[in-house]
Structure 1
Amino acid sequence: MQSGYNRLNILGSSSVKNAVLYFDENFTDDYEQQQQQQNQIIIDDQQNEQFALVTQTFHRNFVQWIQECRNIFQETLTAQQTQQQPEIQQTLSSLLSGALAQALCMIHSYKNEMKNSRILVFSIGADHSDTYSSQYMKLINCFFAAQKMNVLIDACSISMNRETEETAPVSASLEDQFAASVLQQGCDLTGGRYIRIHKVASILEHLFWCLTPSATERQQYVLPPKHEI
Structure 2
Amino acid sequence: MATEETGGLLVVVVDVNPVWWGSSKRKEKTSSTLPQCMEQIMVFVNAHQMASPQNKVAVIGSHANESRYLYPRKGSADIHQTEVLAQIKSKDGKYEQFAKVQSDVMKELKDLIARNPVVSHTDTLLSGSLAMALCYIKRMEKEAGVGQNLHSRILVIKAAEDSASQYMNFMNVTFTAQKQNVTIDACILSADSGLLQQACDITGGIYIKIPDIEGLLQYLLWVFLPPPSLRSNLILPPPIQVDYRAACFCHRMLISIGYVCSVCLSIFCAYSPICSTCHTAFKIKAAPLKLKKKKKSQASGI
TM-score bucket of the superposed structures, by smaller chain: 0.7 to 0.9
Q: Distance in 2 between matches of 1:117 and 1:17?
A: 24
1:31 deviation in Å? 2.6
The one of 71, 78, 97 aligned to 1:50: 97
The one of 195, 206, 212 aligned to 1:199: 212
Q: In the alignment, what sits opposite 2:176? A: 145
TM-score with structure 2 setting the length: 0.57
What 5-or-longer segments of structure 2 have no aligned partner? 1-47, 243-302
The one of 75, 78, 88 aligned to 1:25: 78
Q: Distance in 2 between matches of 1:217 and 1:100?
A: 24
Q: Percent identity?
A: 35
Q: In the alignment, what sits opposite 2:116? A: 69
Gap change, CA 1:92 and 1:207, over 3 Å in 2 = closer
1:200 deviation in Å? 2.4
Q: In the alignment, what sits opposite 2:153? A: 118
1:106 deviation in Å? 0.7
Query: Structure 1, residues 100-139: CA drift from partner, whole Å, max 9, x if none?
Result: 11110110011142521011111123xxxx2221101100
Instruction: Give the SS at the match of 1:9.
Output: strand
Q: Distance in 2 between matches of 1:180 and 1:10?
A: 21
* Range with bigger deviation, 204-213 or 18-27: 18-27
Which amino acid is 2:173 matched to? C
1:66 deviation in Å? 1.3
> Are 1:102 and 2:155 an aligned pair?
no
Q: Distance in 1 between matches of 2:132 and 2:86?
A: 27
Query: Structure 1, residues 178-214: CA drift from partner, whole Å, max 9, x if none?
Result: x451011101111111111231232111111111111
Query: Structure 1, residues 59-105: CA drift from partner, whole Å, max 9, x if none?
Result: 111111112222x42xx5xxxxxxxxxxxxxx553311111111101
Query: Structure 1, residues 2-61: CA drift from partner, whole Å, max 9, x if none?
Result: 212222111111211111111172422103235x4xxxxx53142111111111111111
Q: In the alignment, what sits opposite 2:52? A: 3
Q: Distance in 1 between matches of 2:62 and 2:86?
A: 29
Q: Distance in 2 between matches of 1:28 and 1:92?
A: 38
Which amino acid is 1:215 matched to? P
Which amino acid is 1:111 matched to? E
CA contact (8 A) 1:11 1:99 kept: yes
TM-score with structure 1 setting the length: 0.74
Q: In the alignment, what sits opposite 2:235? A: 222
Instruction: Give the SS at the match of 1:121.
Output: strand
User: How many residues were matched structurally?
Assistant: 184
Q: Distance in 1 between matches of 2:102 and 2:114?
A: 18
**Structure with higher RCO (Cα < 8 A, 6+ apart):** 2
CA contact (8 A) 1:156 1:196 kept: yes
